[in-house]
């Protein structure tokens, strides 16, 4: 073979005797190959085609996974936007029109009574910004929940009608009390 002859030239470490033995051996003619050439070509072509097909399948799977990930991320982002959107939209809603008391009278829902013991109420807090936010929400909402909160203030007002000392009693910072303040403000106007 030509390759073996080239290698013989490259090797300088072999002695002359060893090279001689190599050349004698290399002169021995190999038996002709018994592999079926046509069948080998056919099998190789088929193997190559199937390997190419197999290599395409994982690529397609990778694309599908990437697309699925992107879709899931987009859906999550959209859900996050939708969840946060109602708070923003409340800011742009027009303020409720008409008297709050009229709305309370028109409401068909039963009026919830506030517990007699006001010490058991949960204070909203004293942070001005938080209070303003709550007040703004009450002013804008105008729904039944808001009216129910008004009612929780109403008994306190009726009970305070007995004496001026009770009327001036400081009202804890509850939703009902804020609604009461709102009503008072409207009445003054």
Instruction: Give the footprint of another protein on this chain (CB under 8 A).
Output: 1-7, 10, 13-14, 16-18, 20-22, 24-37, 39-41, 43-45, 47-48, 50-52, 55
Judged by beta carbon, residue 46 or residue 167, the one nearer another protein is 46
Q: Could you give the CA distance from residue 22 to residue 10 in angstroms, rounded to a whole number? A: 13
Judged by beta carbon, residue 40 or residue 127, the one nearer another protein is 40
Q: Could you give the CA distance from residue 128 to residue 178 in angstroms, rounded to a whole number? A: 13
Q: Could you give the CA distance from residue 169 to residue 140 in angstroms, rounded to a whole number? A: 27
CB of 56 to another protein, least distance (A): 11
Q: Could you give the CA distance from residue 59 to residue 54 in angstroms, rounded to a whole number? A: 9
Judged by beta carbon, residue 13 or residue 126, the one nearer another protein is 13
Residue 20 neighbours by CB distance under 10 Å: 11
Judged by beta carbon, residue 43 or residue 113, the one nearer another protein is 43
CB of 92 to another protein, least distance (A): 59
CB of 46 to another protein, least distance (A): 8
Alpha carbon dihedral 106, 144, 140, 180, in 10-degree steps, equals 80
Query: Count of alpha carbons within 13 Å of 52, Cβ hemisphere only?
Result: 6
CB of 23 to another protein, least distance (A): 9
């Amino acid at each position: 073979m030509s390759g073996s002859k080239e290698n013989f030239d490259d090797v300088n470490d072999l002695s002359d005797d060893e090279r001689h033995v190599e050349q004698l051996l290399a002169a021995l003619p190999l038996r002709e190959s018994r592999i079926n050439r046509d069948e080998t070509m056919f099998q190789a072509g088929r193997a190559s085609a199937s390997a190419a097909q197999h290599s395409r399948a994982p690529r397609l799977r990778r694309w599908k996974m990437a697309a699925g990930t992107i879709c899931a991320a987009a859906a999550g982002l959209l859900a996050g936007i939708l969840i946060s959107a109602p708070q923003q939209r409340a800011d742009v809603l027009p303020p409720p029109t008409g008297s709050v008391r009229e709305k309370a009278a028109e409401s068909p829902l039963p009026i919830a009574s506030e517990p007699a013991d006001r010490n058991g109420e949960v204070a909203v807090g004293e942070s001005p910004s938080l209070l303003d936010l709550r007040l703004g929400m009450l002013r804008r909402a105008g729904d039944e929940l808001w009216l129910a909160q008004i009612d929780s203030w109403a008994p306190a007002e009726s009970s305070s009608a007995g004496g001026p000392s009770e009327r001036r009693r400081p009202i804890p910072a509850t939703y009902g009390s804020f609604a009461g303040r709102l009503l008072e403000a409207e009445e003054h106007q």
